Structure 1
Amino acid sequence: MKMPRILPLIAIAVGGIVAVRAVGLAPRPVPGRPGLGPGRRGRRRGRGPADHCLGPAVCALSEEQLAEQAGISPAELRIIQSLSARRDQLDARDTDFATMLPLMAAAELKLDERIAELNAIKAELEGMLGQADEREEAEVNRLVQVYQAMRPREAAAVFNTLADSVRLPVAQAMRPRALAAIRPRCRPPRPAS
């Protein structure tokens, strides 16, 4: 249950009291006075509570008069007015946050979906890399069996033509005895010129 905010209610009550009193204090036409006769609108001259009057029914009160009629000090009235203005700012912020919250939730949902897609792609790539590694290992094992089954002289001739990226894994997987039979027959690689 949401509690009503007290400061706006106080401000409305003070405004209502001021309005009722302002209507009750409106200047009446005075016979014999040229500026305020019946049917004429004019400003009163002199000093008094109705100096700021715009007409017989509308009157603006100063802060001191407003505070006096509300039964509070002018400082308290200013504080109430500033708190009311601050409350309006906070309400506007709340409204902004209320509109931003669904947008942020939608953006978060899209990010979560994108992360899930990227994780699926990552898992697929890892699976493909694992398959490639298994194929490479199977190919190396096949080549090891072929070279171990060959005569050392024939194996050395073919071994010399292999690239290092193929020759080294095959040599590492071969039995030491079979590799030792092939190795002396291999020529050292020619220097690049």
Structure 2
Amino acid sequence: MKVTVKLPRVRGGTLAVISVLLIGSALVRIGLQAGPAIARESLPEQDQEMPADSAIARTVAPTSAELQTLIDALREREHALDTREAQIQDRMKALEIAEEAIERRLEALIGAEERLSATLALADGATEEDLGRLTDVYQKMKPKQAAALFETMAPEFAAGFLARMRPDAAAEVMAGLSPMAAYSISVVLAGRNATVPKE
């Protein structure tokens, strides 16, 4: 199963476009306000006396020092935005590298899980085959010999083989066991499915 993490892409030109628009807006304002200032400077001194409205406009119009401060501030902001954009791009690259590494590890884990499942299936098949052969051997033994062997086994172990044997062969082996061993094995056989859910 391949997991893909989608990350938002940052467009490299977005911040640059915003910066250009801000600088362009500042330049338009400067141009609109610079025209009257230049016109005033070209007038003779006696014509430079202005009405009250023009005096207010003059105080509102930025001076060249203020304009320079504004331009410097815009340049600093542009530099800060460029730095931030570079940091974001670096992080995006790091995230892409991490995503690729995670995908590779996930693929390796999936492959290892598939190999482990195949190995377990082989082991289960081999175990089942071995148990089947051993059960056949016990069924083919004389009941008295098999009973002597089952007498020495742990009841849980013996019950496992008896449950796999044909009923008639298992009955003959049980008949040859001591009453205590037969009882212990019977208890294990009877309780094997007691914990299975009924629904």
- Shared fold (TM-score greater than 0.5)? yes
Name the structure 1 match of 2:152. Answer: 161
Higher helix fraction (1 or 2): 2
Segments of structure 1 that go 5 or more residues without pairing to the other structure are 20-63, 71-77
| 2:106 corresponds to which of 93, 96, 115 | 115
1:177 & 1:110 partners in 2: Cα distance?
Answer: 61
Kept in 1: contact 2:33–2:61 (CA 8 A): no
TM-score w.r.t. length of structure 2: 0.54
Q: What residue identity is the alignment partner of 2:175?
A: P
Name the structure 1 match of 2:118. Answer: 127
TM-score w.r.t. length of structure 1: 0.56
Name the structure 2 match of 1:47. Answer: none
1:135 & 1:93 partners in 2: Cα distance?
Answer: 62
Q: Kindly indicate whether residue 23 of structure 2 is the aligned counterpart of residue 8 of structure 1.
A: yes
User: Which one has a bigger Cα radius of gyration?
Assistant: 1
Name the structure 1 match of 2:136. Answer: 145
Structure 1 position 157, deviation (Å): 1.0
1:121 & 1:132 partners in 2: Cα distance?
Answer: 16
Structure 1 position 166, deviation (Å): 3.8
Segments of structure 2 that go 5 or more residues without pairing to the other structure are 1-10, 35-56, 64-69, 185-199
Identity of aligned residues (%): 26
Q: 1:16 to 1:110 in 2, by over 3 A?
A: farther
| Higher RCO (C-alpha 8 Å, min separation 6) | 2
Q: What residue identity is the alignment partner of 1:8?
A: I
Structure 1 position 83, deviation (Å): 9.6
Structure 1 position 135, deviation (Å): 1.1
Name the structure 1 match of 2:175. Answer: 184
Q: 1:134 to 1:164 in 2, by over 3 A?
A: farther
Name the structure 2 match of 1:54. Answer: none
For the aligned residue pairs, the C-alpha RMSD in angstroms reads 4.4
1:138 & 1:66 partners in 2: Cα distance?
Answer: 101
1:160 & 1:18 partners in 2: Cα distance?
Answer: 112
